[in-house]
Amino acid sequence: MSIIIVIGFFVFVSLCPPCSASPAHVAALSTAEIATSATDHQALMSFRSLIKGDPLEALNSWGNQSIPMCRWHGVACGMRGHRRGRVLALDLSGLNLLGSISSSIDLENLNLSSNSIGGNIPPELTACVQLQFVCLSHNNLQGVIPSALGVLSNLRGIDLRYNMLKGSVPLELASLHNLEVLALGYNNLTGNIPVEIGNMEGLIRLHLESNMIVGEIPKQIANLTNLTHLYLYLNGLTGLVPASLGGLQKLQILSLSDNQLSGPIPPSLGNLSSLVFLNLRANGLTGTIPESLGNLNLLNALSLTSNSLTGIPKCLCAMLQRLNLFNWVLTFFPE
């Protein structure tokens, strides 16, 4: 695989002018060359050259002269305006493609989820300034998340879940003010959740689950008032459950299970009027279960097992009976 990575970088630099980080190479091309669909054609062919396995023969149409580029499998082109006939999106998800990534064209959407793409995330991807959605989940990507992704100010979604990425969550991502989805779960990330996360006010979904992230949950997370899904389970988080989480009025799913959180469940969680799923299991939480949780009228799954909690408030019993979800709830006491 390492050989493919080296080749990948080389091909990228030589054939992807709009996204290239190599000024020398950009200078060698005229503006006209850069601005034609022929460039896209060439870039797609270089992209294809990095794909070493295509068991479903999904890319057979690529390069076939009797099929227009915009009709190649997974290719979507602009329909009007200055990007008419230019490649805007690549959706090659779920094709079991084997190989590595080149950064290709100045795409808006790149979806390579569920393949066997290895190697690193090329930092040169960051020259694709139009990128809005990058989905590279369920692959074999290695190395760190390039901090340079923080320059892609149009990014609205980035999904890198289920890879083998390591290193920490780059602080630089906090400058992505349009980001709605940040999904980095199921990797080998370490370090803390950066406090700068409080700047990503547009976030709707935050997935950092199943990594090796440590330290406290920053209280600045309360700044993310549009958050509906917060997944931090299966990490090494310590400290208290921030009471400020109770301010996240749109939160529907809160999963902090399988960490080393301690102290009481903050009563403010009872203010999460949109909450349907609350999982705090397998932590070191102590104290009594706050009665305020009984206010969570939309809740339909709750797990507090494997903590050191004491006492089930009456109002909560009523709620649990209403939900009839004892198989979910199991026991409140340490297992």
Ligand X SMILES: *[C@@H]1O[C@H](CO)[C@@H](O)[C@H](O)[C@H]1NC(C)=O
Site residues, ligand X (CB under 6 A): 60, 64, 66-67, 93-94, 109, 111, 113, 133, 135, 157, 164, 187-188, 198-199, 201-202, 220, 223, 226, 246, 267-268, 270-271, 292
Shortest distance, position 292 Cβ to ligand X, whole Å: 4
Q: CB-wise, 233 or 306, nearer to ligand X?
A: 233
Q: Find the shortest distance in angstroms from Cβ 95 to ligand X.
A: 10
79 exposure class (CB count in 10 Å sphere: 0-12, 13-18, 19+): exposed
Residue with smaller CB distance to ligand X, 13 or 158: 158
Question: How far, in Å, CA of 299 to CA of 293, rounded?
Answer: 9
Q: How far is the CB of 265 from ligand X (least distance, A)?
A: 11
**Nearer to ligand X among residue 167 and residue 267 (C-beta):** 267
CB of 76 to ligand X, least distance (A): 11
CA distance 196 to 169: 11
Q: Which residue number, 160 or 261, has a Cβ lying nearer to ligand X? A: 160
- Residue 215 C-beta: closest distance to ligand X, Å: 16
- When CB distances to ligand X are compared, the closest residue is 198
Three-point CA angle 248, 253, 255, nearest 5°: 100
Of 100 and 271, nearer to ligand X (C-beta) is 271
Q: Which is nearer to ligand X, 313 or 333 (CB)?
A: 313
Tell me the two tokens of residue 106: 């100045």
Q: What's the closest the beta carbon of residue 34 comes to ligand X, in angstroms?
A: 26
Q: Which two three-digit tokens encode residue 34?
A: 């850069």
